[in-house]
Each structure stands twice: as structure tokens, then as C-alpha cells.
Amino acid sequence: MAIDESAVQRLLLLAEVTDFLHREADLLDERRYEEWLSLLADDYQYSVPLRMNVRYNEVAEREQTKAGEEICWFDEGKETTELRVAQLATGKHWAEEPVSRVTHLVTNIRLTSTELPEVEVSCRFIVYRNRVADESDFLVGRRRDRLRRTGDGWQVCRRQLLLDQSVLLAKNLSVFI
Amino acid sequence: MHTFSEGTPGRVRDLVDVVRGQISREIFVDERIHRLELENLFPRAWLFVGHASQVPQPGDFFASWMGSDPVLLTRDDAGKLHVLLNSCRHRGMRVCRYDEGNTMRFTCPYHAWSYSIDGSLVSTPGDLHGVPQLKAAYSGKLRKEDWGLVRCPKVRDYKGLVFATWDTEAPEFDDYAGDFHWWLDNLADAFDGTEAGTEVFRGVQKWRIRSNWKLVSENFLGDTYHGASTHASVEAVGIGPGGRGKRRHGERPNEGGFSRGRFKTSFRLGHGASDNLDYELPYPEFAEQPLNDYFTEAWNTRKAKLDKEARPLGGRGPATMFPNMSFSAGFPRTILVAHPLSATETEVWRWYLVDKAAPEFVRDWLRHYYMRYAGPGGMTEQDDMENWDYATQASRGVVARRYPYNYQQGLGEEVPSALRQAVHSHHAIAGEVNARAFYRRWSEFVDNLSWAELNKLAEVDDRATARAQG
């Protein structure tokens, strides 16, 4: 039977991207933030819109706030993310002192566009945080990533999260999601 | 110091000792006291409901809360604002579970009673309009005009800030706010002084904390003491207008930090501000020149306008309007409401303001600054939540409750103010004069003093004069 070369290529690409996203999760959970930052492209754009309870026929227009013009949980570039890493390293960022236990699960990974060197990835995330003793947060939702293949490996250039909560049930978002 | 662990609640005023500067932990953790707050304070106070710019068109609505009750802020077909209890009069179903939208009619999904805000269909917007099987069920005897959505009798649109109270006997809004209105003016007016020249960005951040709501109100009321420790990490990193290595609010280096010439302002009505009207803090120094140019011009325009009106330039907070609306009218410019859920749980809402006339690059800069500063993702506010939650948790113990909190900073050192019903404190950073007044007012409400008594107590702020005479 003939081997479908393009299918093999797609599978290899998916495996490569999956491995990258899992490695990124490892770096975050192991708190290797400087290494993680090196995986973010200089034009990295990160957004987490607010979600709202709206009518079924207004979902497209109103269900989430718009990154770039409205208030989100996050809507920022790499420079602000670097400030967050620097804040964690002060040892005085009380929201993360003592440090939280965090696990990032990335799943349902699917390539939705492959225009190399860039690909778009659809996935789901679960971020579990346990803090001090009984403080536990589950942050769950959909994620869209745009990744770029460079000479140094893959980089994240855009990341959009849709968190499945309208009222945030966690007291803060002091871990990277 | 009284404790509250057994028996029926007595006077909560006995738990708030402003003379000695001691306040019982019970008022932050006890569910029975919380019940009294819900019954005696929140239905009587003027509460912030939302911003008029969230409901610009007829039929627009925004779902909010007033104490323990869900409400709808609506605009009728004549353009008038209403605040309606979001609960069907038949079986109590929340008639609207949407956060925002546009409709002229709220139809309950349970039995389809419908309420109209169209003045051509009902005499008062919010009244009952449609009742399935009206004639068969009620033999024509249901008086629909008696069964409209419960409405807030008093609603005030103060330069776009919408306040409401359930209490027909409550003082008018202007008397409730008193001279604290200057801070509300600075919140609602544009950076160039244009009156009511602000709107809110779309998107209200809402999140749950495991803390008593009063710790939140107190934090913005005048607790400038916490900044150096709580926010040490953001000051070390630098997230403000000046960029890295600069202060988070953007104070200029020649302004002596954040305290030179600054007093606290404390109102007998319970409101408090971290600054005074004569404390002129110019707009920040930005890393980007176009922003410097824009805000310098705005400052000059505002100064010229206010000088002409003989109105002082200061008064940007942080501040809290009694009981649970906190705000900063500078950098950032944002409103917070601490909605009480239980003695130890609060839902916090944040709105962010921007000048209606601001050009795109200014809107964009402010929006980014707001999000990295405040809210659950904000690098500053994240650390506040840690404190409020674990302060609440560690105050719940049987032994812990026996020991009051200390509110003795600047005790007995209040100075008179030219403002009505107010005093100042020279303790610009470490001063708790505002908190003492807030809790005193809180206890008077929770003990359910009549409006006649409440008004009389607040007529004159004798804290400074009594000391001078004593």
C-alpha cells in the first residue's frame, strides 16, 4: 500500500507541535519562567476576554469582550508578561508566596491552519492551582495558539484563551494560564 | 472588648470602639452580624448600580446587585433610567439571567408573566404587562398595576454614575454624598475637566473572594499604609506610566513620593478619601512623549477651568463612598463595588473609566495599564486579595475572635476641615482616621438607628473641635 506522504507530514507536524506545547507546560509547572519566556516571540500577543451571559442569538457579537478594545482578564504583549515574571522573582509577590502548586493540561490539540513557518492550533486547557491548604482553582477553557517555527525551534506569537467562567471563581489570576 | 460568640446580637456599636481605636473581629466573620448588615444597611444606603454609558439606548439593560438582591438597570423608551428588582412577582424567578442586552420586555420563563419598560404599554416602566390566562385565572380581578417589578424609589444619575436606594425615607443623594461629591466629580469628569466627560470601557470584571466585604471598602477608603509592604513587588518591578523602575501611580520624582502636602479626608457620613482637595498631584510622567503631551494639555485645560471656578485641583482618591463603592479618580481610574455574599465571601466588580473624547492611543494605553494594574490579573490587586482572604480566614478562630483589630493610627489627632461634616488627618500614609469613621457609621446603620438619628449624628463632625475644647 502506498504511503500518503502528506498525511505523514501532517502527523509529524502535529507530533512536533504537541511536544512543544507539552514542553511549554512543563516549564511553567516547574517554574522555569525565564526559559518559558524564551519561547514567546517578540510580537507575542496574549488575550483572555471576559465572558458574559447573553442571548443565544447574540453570542457572536456580545458573548465575549473584544481584545484590542475592551476590558479582558488579560490583553498584553511580551513586555508585560516579562514584568509578571520579574514580579514573581521579587519574593514579595504575596499572591504567590508561598508558591502555588500548578499543573497545566493541554489537550484536544488540533492543527487548524498550516502556513509554515506558522501554524494555528486549537486546544483545550485545564489549569489546576492548589494554594496554601484548601485553596483550589480549576481554570478550564478553549485556546487558540499561533506558533512560528524559527531556527531556535517553535515560538508562540499569539495566544487567545476563552475561560469558561463569567464570574471568576478564583480570587486572582496570579499564575500563567 | 465585647465578643459575639454566644447569645443574641446586642449593639454592634459596642464592637466598634473608636475612642480607643479597637474594633472586634466579629464584625468581619460573624454571620448574624452579616445578616444585620444585609437587613439594616444595604437596603437603606445609596449604592452604586452601574454606569449610564452601559445602557445608552432605550431598552438597554445591565444586570447588577444591591446588597443581597439582584437588580436590573434599564433605560425606558423615554430615555429615563430605572432600577428594578430582578425577581418575578409571581414565584420569584429571576426574570433576566443575561448580564446585559436590549429589550423592552422582561418575560419570566417560569409562567410567562411579562414586564414592560415601554411607557406606551404600561403607566410605569417595569409594570406587569402580560399575564397568561389573565381572565380565566383571576376573573379579571388581578390589579396588574400592583404587581410590577419592585422598583427602586430613588435613582440618581450623577454625571453618569448611577446610584439607587430602596429606602423612600433616605436622604437625597446630594445629602448622602455631602462634600464627598468633589471626589465623585473628579471620577466622573474628564481628565481635561469636561463635566461628566467619561464613560466606561465595555467589560466589568467580576470575581469571588473569601473575605468580608468591609476589608475591601477599608482598603480603598484611606489605607495608604499597606502599599509599601503589600505592593512592594510591583514597585520593585515598575508597572506605571513611567515604565520600568518608576512608581506605579506615576508620581513625578520631585513630588516627595506620595505624601508631601497630602492629608486624609474623613467624613462623618462614613465616606473617606486618601487625599485632600488641595493636594495637587499633576498627571504622571509617561515614557511615551505623545502621552505626556496629551495629559499635560489636559492638566492645563482642567487647571484653567477649575481655577476660574475657584475649585481646587486635588481629590483623586483612592476613596470609598459609604458603604461599598470604592474608586480611584487618577491613575488608574476605576470603580470597585464589593458585593456582600456572606460574612466571609464577597463578589468584587470593577469598572474602568475613560474620557469619551480620548483619542485611540490614549484609550489603548489606559486600557493596558488598567489590566496590568487592577482586577484579578492586575499585578497590584492580586496581592490585595491574598491579604483580604487570609486575614479573614485567620480571624475566624475562637481565640482569634477574642482579640480586636488595632485602629489607633493618628488617634485623637484629627484636624478641622473647611469641608462640611469632615475632618482631616496629617497622617498621610499611616493614618486610620477614615477607617474609624467608616466603622462608626457602619455600626449606626447596622444597629438600625432611624434616619432622624443618623442625620442628626452626621450633622456636624465634632472629632476635631471636641478635642480642641476638651
Q: Return the DSSP state at A89.
A: T
Name the range with the highest mean pLDDT among B6-10, B103-107, B232-236: B103-107
Query: Which chain A residues have a beta carbon less than 8 Å from that of B209?
Result: 171
Taking only the tens place, the pLDDT of each residue in A38-49 is 999 999 999 999
Residue B467 binned pLDDT confidence (cut-offs 50, 70, 90): low
Q: What percent of chain B has pLDDT over 70?
A: 95
Kindly determine whether residue B383 and residue A94, on different chains, have CB atoms separated by under 8 Å. Answer: yes
**Minimum distance, in Å, between the CA of residue B236 and any CA atom of chain A:** 7
Alpha helices of B142-212 — where are they, by DSSP H? 173-177, 181-188
Query: What does pLDDT average to over chain A?
Result: 97
B101: nearest CB among A58, A65, A72: A58
DSSP 3-state of B373? helix
User: What's the rounded mean pLDDT across residues B176-197?
Assistant: 98
Contact A62 B236 (CB under 8 A): no
Amino acid at the residue B48: F
Percent of chain A with pLDDT over 90: 98
Q: How far is A11 from chain B (nearest CA, A)?
A: 37
**DSSP, res B405:** E
Range with lowest mean pLDDT among B1-15, B207-221, B275-289? B1-15
Residue of A nearest to B383 (CA): A95
- Under a CB-based contact definition with an 8 Å cutoff, are residues B16 and B440 in contact? yes
- The pLDDT, as a whole number, for residue A130 is 98
% of chain A residues with pLDDT over 70: 99
pLDDT at B468: 55
Query: pLDDT class for B469, splitting at 50, 70, 90?
Result: low
> Contact, B138 vs B131, CB < 8 A?
yes
pLDDT band, residue B256 (cuts 50/70/90): very low
Instruction: Give pLDDT tens digits for B343-387.
Output: 999 999 999 999 999 999 999 999 999 999 999 999 999 999 999
Per residue in A69-115, pLDDT tens?
Answer: 999 999 999 999 999 999 999 999 999 999 999 999 999 999 999 99
**Which position has the grid cell 485553596?**
A135
Do the Cβ atoms of A70 and B236 come within 8 Å? no
Residue B250, pLDDT > 80, answer no
CB B177 within 8 A of CB B271: yes
**Does the distance separating the beta carbons of B203 and A71 come in below 8 Å?**
yes
Q: Across the interface, do A171 and B389 touch by the CB < 8 Å criterion? A: yes
State the sign of the Cα–Cα–Cα–Cα dihedral B182, B187, B191, B193: negative
What is the SS3 assignment for B205?
A: strand
ipTM of the complex: 0.97
CB–CB of B330/B249 below 8 Å?
Answer: yes
Amino acid at B329: A
What pLDDT shows up at residue B466?
66
Say whether pLDDT at A1 is over 80: no
Mean pLDDT over B249-273 rounds to 78
Q: Residue B3 — very low, low, confident or very high, per pLDDT cuts 50/70/90?
A: low
pLDDT at position B470 is 44
